[in-house]
Amino acid sequence: MSCIVKNYELVFWDFDGVIKDSVEVKTKAFANMFKAYGPVIQEQVINHHLTNRGVSRYVKFELYYRDYIGKPLSSEELEKKCSDFSDIVLKKVIESDWVDGVEEYIRKNKYQQVFVLVTGTPQNEIEYILDELKISKCFKSIWGSPNEKSIVISNIIDESRKKEKVVMIGDSDTDFKAALQNNISFILRKTKENSNLQMMENIFCIDNFL
């Protein structure tokens, strides 16, 4: 399906679930961090995480402790939770499988198209991951949290080109909404977690980049 992506001049890429098959790594990490609070809280956390992929973990941890556990976190506690989460997932994300065909596509077409990475992963962490994978230079710019995807896309489009030549490739509602809000095309990379989006008639779906 890589031929579909070639139709666009500017491509916004999500990371987890689009470049690396790492969604399950982070789902398990969230479950593990709330294990002490019991299965009910764990289920609430996992359900919210899966329906809000692409949202910053800072936002999620703050919400989970405030609304599910009833113990709002201080700024220092929030930083510690996010740091602990990073310690759990960082190596596993780097070692997770590439989505089929994506590495070759990105490396081969980095000069034919403009690639921009937009992800809910913290800025310093995604920069480290891409450096370890040796694909940082394939992207014109890299945007992690706390930057909001829809705002990043809007700012870059305003200073670049016509919207009909722009696409967002993602795997979550957050990615789809960011594309919709900016009136650009959207390509959904199908996973077991986004069956709700696969059912929508106006969304073009791909399995991989082969």
Task: Looking at the structure, tell me whether residues 106 and 153 fall in a common domain.
Answer: yes
Task: Looking at the structure, tell me whether residues 49 and 115 fall in a common domain.
Answer: no
CB 67 within 8 A of CB 41: no
Task: Looking at the structure, tell me whether residues 6 and 107 fall in a common domain.
Answer: yes
Look at the chain and report how many structural domains it folds into. 2
Task: Looking at the structure, tell me whether residues 146 and 51 fall in a common domain.
Answer: no
Residues of the chain with pLDDT under 70: 1-2, 160-162
Q: What is the pLDDT of residues 2-41, one digit of tens each?
A: 678 999 999 999 999 999 999 999 999 999 999 999 999 9
Q: Which sign does the torsion angle of CA 135, 2, 24, 42 carry? A: positive
Domain closes at, from 45, 76, 95: 95
Phi, psi of 166 (to 5 degrees): -120, 140
Task: Looking at the structure, tell me whether residues 102 and 177 fall in a common domain.
Answer: yes
Distance from C-alpha of 45 to C-alpha of 169, rounded to nearest angstrom: 25
CATH number where 176 lies: 3.40.50.1000
pLDDT at 158: 78
Task: Looking at the structure, tell me whether residues 122 and 169 fall in a common domain.
Answer: yes
In DSSP notation, 169-199 reads EESSHHHHHHHHHTT-EEEEE--TT-HHHHT
Mapped onto helix, strand or coil, the DSSP state of residue 40 is helix
Task: Looking at the structure, tell me whether residues 87 and 166 fall in a common domain.
Answer: no
How many residues in total does the chain contain? 210
Could you tell me whether strands 204-206 and 141-145 are parallel, antiparallel, or unpaired per DSSP bridges?
Answer: unpaired
The identity of residue 139, as a single letter, is F
Where do we find the tokens 């779906």?
205
pLDDT at 2: 61
Task: Looking at the structure, tell me whether residues 83 and 112 fall in a common domain.
Answer: no
Distance from C-alpha of 38 to C-alpha of 16, rounded to nearest angstrom: 27
Distance from C-alpha of 16 to C-alpha of 22, rounded to nearest angstrom: 5
Domain closes at, from 63, 95, 127: 95
Task: Looking at the structure, tell me whether residues 91 and 123 fall in a common domain.
Answer: no
Residue 81: domain span: 23-95
Q: Where are the beta strands (DSSP E) in the chain?
A: 10-13, 114-122, 141-145, 166-170, 185-189, 204-206
pLDDT at 22: 93
Task: Looking at the structure, tell me whether residues 168 and 140 fall in a common domain.
Answer: yes
Task: Looking at the structure, tell me whether residues 167 and 103 fall in a common domain.
Answer: yes
pLDDT at 95: 96
Task: Looking at the structure, tell me whether residues 180 and 129 fall in a common domain.
Answer: yes
CB 23 within 8 A of CB 180: no
